Structure 1
Amino acid sequence: MKPTEFVKVNTQFWGEHLKGVAGHLPVSHRTELPGPMLFPRMMVLTETPDWNILELVGLSREYRTPEVRRQKLGSVEEYFGVGDGTAVMTLPGENLFKDATIATTAGRQALEERFPAAANVIGEEYVGPGEELLQFAPGNYSTFDRTLLVHTAGDSLRLHWVNFAIAIHRSEPADKYLDFLQSYSNARPHLDPIGTISLPIDPAVLKADPFESTYLAHGLQDSTVDGFLDTHEQILLSAFGATKLVREPALGELHPDFILERADGSHIVGRLELPVVDTTNGKKRRRVFRLPVQESAAELVTYAEYLKTADNRSQLKSKYDVDVTDPRLLLIVPSQETVTPAAGVEVVDYDTILRLHLA
């Protein structure tokens, strides 16, 4: 199937499917659903030499026709995992992961220690040693339906919750791919259509500004770092098991975006790799990343080096009442970004943070 055919089939199927769901279930079956129904906001369609990949990203409390983003990558493994070496899982033929977690052994341990809310979304587990998460063997389909991917490479970590994704070998004809989508959709329970998620939460939670701006392709261009953190504070505290958020602390001449103090007394120093606005001396400057992740990761390492000095930690304690020793380094990226490893840094996209909060 050519990439143009892949775009056409997905645009046709998901447009009709999600529109039909939105016009029917939240109205006719509202009282039967576990809670509010959430819809994807974007289709990311990725072309590699041997595979086509679809992923639905973003979470919206109202249906809108998904936007389409197209991109090219060198391999399907580059899209789904980081590292180079032994894979946790090899995927020949057809594979289905639903309400599941795929993780390296180190990544699974990190979930226990660093992300307390993840216990509510783990589901069926596929865990093993290795630095590459998945290795795709010749075959047709691998489907990831509400699946948490936990990649590790050395001391780097990438956490990504997938609403729905399919990797399909490019040898598969377009008509058979469409048949597969329709058959998979028909096999799902009527009240749990593919590409959506219904959660037993108070609908009021979804009406606040923080939820409105969690689809990170929109609404951030005019948001400052402080404004973003002010709006999303409760989500960040909840997702990371934290009790305190310090916004834009000054570490001498260094300025991380935030520090989170967790309930166990540990700390997270974070940076936003988002299209937000920095303000310096009253002037606004939009963030531009020439080398995504690497530039921000280097900044985070600089903050960690600063905090190794007792005098520097003492000044931070005096200013902000946080005693930071050996902090975790966190980078928050847009939900639709594919990223590479960053030594010593945790990389989490906003869809995943939101899912942990809603858990």
Structure 2
Amino acid sequence: MKPTEFVKVNGQFWAEHLKGVSGHLPVSHRTELPGPMLFPRMMVLTETPDWNILELVGLSREYRTLEVRRQKAASVEEYFGVGDGDPVITLPGENLFKDATIATEAGKRALTERFPNAANLLGEEFVGRGDQLLQFAPGNYSTFDRALLVHGADDAFRAHWVFFALAIHRSEPADKYLDFLRTYSNARPHLDPIGTISLPVDPVVLKADAFESTYLAHGLQDLGVDEFLDKHEEILLSVFGATKLVRQPADADFVLERADGNNVLGRLELPVADVVNGKKRRRSFRTPVRANTDSRQLAIVPSQEIVASVPGVEIVDYDTILRLYLES
């Protein structure tokens, strides 16, 4: 399947599917759902030399037509984790990870220590000693449906909650791929359709700007650092178990002070705006680097970026922070 065909098939399927779900379940079956239903906000389509990858990102309290981002990666392994070394899981044939966690042993330990609320996300666990998370083989249909991917090695840590992702070999024709999507969708329970999640949370929580349907593509990019911290202070304090947020210290955008003294030095690698000579300039993404400090170091990255682990830095994407917050 050519990348252009992959774009066309996904655009057609997800628009029809999510529009139909949003107009039916939250209205006619609202009282039967565990709680408010959340929808993705962006469709990320990644091309590698041998694979096509779809991922839905963003957590929105209402459905709107998905933004589309196209990008390239060197390999499918690079996209889903470190691209060299022994894998935690080798993927033969067709694979499904639903409400599951795939982690290296070091990553799982770090996750448990640093994010106690993550215990509610783990589901079925696949944990191993590998250097990378996954190794793919031709013929795969690998689906990650609400899966938490955690890579850790030595003092490096990377966590990414996947709303929905699917990797297929480029030799697969478009009609078979569309049949696969329809078959998988039809097999799901009526109240739990693919590409959505319904959570038992207070609807008031979802009124935060972070869950606004236009926020990921537009609102986030209009904020300065202080404005971002204003809107996300409660979320950051909750997820990282902190008692106080200190703004823009030296060499960072913020510090999260914790009662145990294990403070978190944070940097935003998001498209927020810096003010330079009275003018806003949107940040370009930069690969996180370790600062010269003994503090616990955090980089918050866009959910759609391909980011490898960095020694001494906790790399957590924006969607994962929101998802952890909803479990707090």
C-alpha distance in structure 1 between counterparts of 2:229 and 2:76, whole Å = 34
Equivalent in the alignment of 1:347: 315
Secondary structure at 1:301 match in 2: coil
1:315-334 to 2 correspondence within 5 Å? 326-334=294-302
1:277 aligns with 2:267: no
RMSD (Å) for aligned C-alpha atoms? 1.6
Deviation at 1:283, TM superposition (A): 5.0
- Does 2:10 correspond to 1:20? no
Structure 1 CA distance, aligned partners of 2:101 and 2:313?
A: 21
What's 1:321 paired with? none
Task: Report the AA paired with residue 124 of structure 2.
Answer: E
Please list the CA deviations of residues 264-284 of structure 1 after superposition, one character each: whole Å capped at 9, or x if unmatched: 331110100112122356554
Match of 2:291 in 1: 301
Residue range with higher mean Cα deviation, 79-88 or 161-170: 79-88
Cα pair 2:110 2:152 within 8 Å, conserved: no
Are the aligned partners of 2:96 and 2:144 in contact in 1 as well (CA < 8 Å)? yes
Total equivalences in the alignment:
327
Matched, 1:209 2:209: yes
- Residues 49-68 of structure 1 correspond to what in structure 2 (within 5 A)? 49-68=49-68
- Identity score, percent: 78
User: 1:357 aligned to 2:319?
Assistant: no
- So what's the TM-score if we normalise by structure 1? 0.87
The equivalent residue for 2:185 is 185
1:23-102 to 2 correspondences below 5 Å:
23-82=23-82, 84-102=84-102
How far off is 1:137 after superposition?
A: 1.6
8 Å Cα contact 1:131/1:154 also seen in 2: no
Report how far residue 357 of structure 1 moved.
0.2
Question: Partners of 1:109 and 1:76 in 2: how far apart?
Answer: 25
Please tell me whether the aligned partners of residues 215 and 351 of structure 1 are also in contact (alpha carbons under 8 angstroms): no
Q: After superposition, where does 1:71-220 map in structure 2 within 5 Å?
A: 71-82=71-82, 84-212=84-212, 215-220=215-220
1:229-276 Cα distance to aligned partner (Å, 9 max, x none):
111001111111222111112xxxx34101112343311101001121
The whole-number CA distance in structure 2 between the counterparts of 1:261 and 1:116 is: 17
Q: TM-score, normalised by structure 2?
A: 0.95
8 Å CA contact 1:83, 1:153 repeated in 2? no
Secondary structure at the aligned position of 1:347 is classed as strand
2:87·2:135 contact (CA, 8 Å) conserved in 1?
Answer: yes
Which amino acid is the alignment partner of residue 36 of structure 1? P
Structure 2 CA distance for partners of 1:145 and 1:106, relative to 1, 3 Å: same
- C-alpha separation between the residues in 2 aligned to 1:140 and 1:256? 42
Asked whether 1:335 is paired with 2:325, we answer no
In structure 1, the residue matched to 2:235 is 235
Letter in 2 for 1:272: L
Q: Distance in 1 between matches of 2:210 and 2:58?
A: 13
Partner of 1:310: none
Distance of aligned partners of 1:179 and 1:83 in 2 relative to their CA distance in 1, 3 Å threshold: closer
CA contact 1:83–1:152 (8 Å) conserved in 2: no
The one-letter amino acid paired with 1:155 is D
Give the residue type in structure 2 aligned to 1:24: H
Q: Give, in angstroms, the shift of residue 213 of structure 1.
A: 8.1
Residues in 1 aligned to 2:142 and 2:276: alpha-carbon distance in whole angstroms: 47
What amino acid sits opposite 2:254 in the alignment?
F
Cα distance in 2 for partners of 1:281, 1:30 equals 50
Deviates more, 1:96-105 or 1:169-178: 169-178
Deviations 1:22-44 (A, max 9, x none): 01000000110111101111111
| Cα distance between partner residues in 1 of 2:91 and 2:100 | 15
8 Å contact from structure 2 (residues 75, 83) kept in 1: no
The alpha carbon displacement at 1:211 in A equals 3.0
| 1:162-183 deviation line (CA, Å, top 9, x unaligned) | 0000001111111111111111
Q: Which deviates the most, 28-37 or 336-345?
A: 336-345
Rounded to whole Å, the distance in 1 between the matches of 2:86 and 2:275 is 44
Unaligned runs of 5+ in 2: none
Task: State how far apart, in whole Å, the 1-side matches of 2:302 and 2:216 are.
Answer: 6
Counterpart in 1 of 2:253? 257
Cross-structure match for 2:7: 7
* Conserved? CA contact 1:83–1:341, under 8 Å: no
Native 8 Å contact 1:216 1:335 kept in 2: no
Q: Which amino acid aligns with 1:237?
A: L
Q: Matched residue of 1:241: which SS?
A: coil
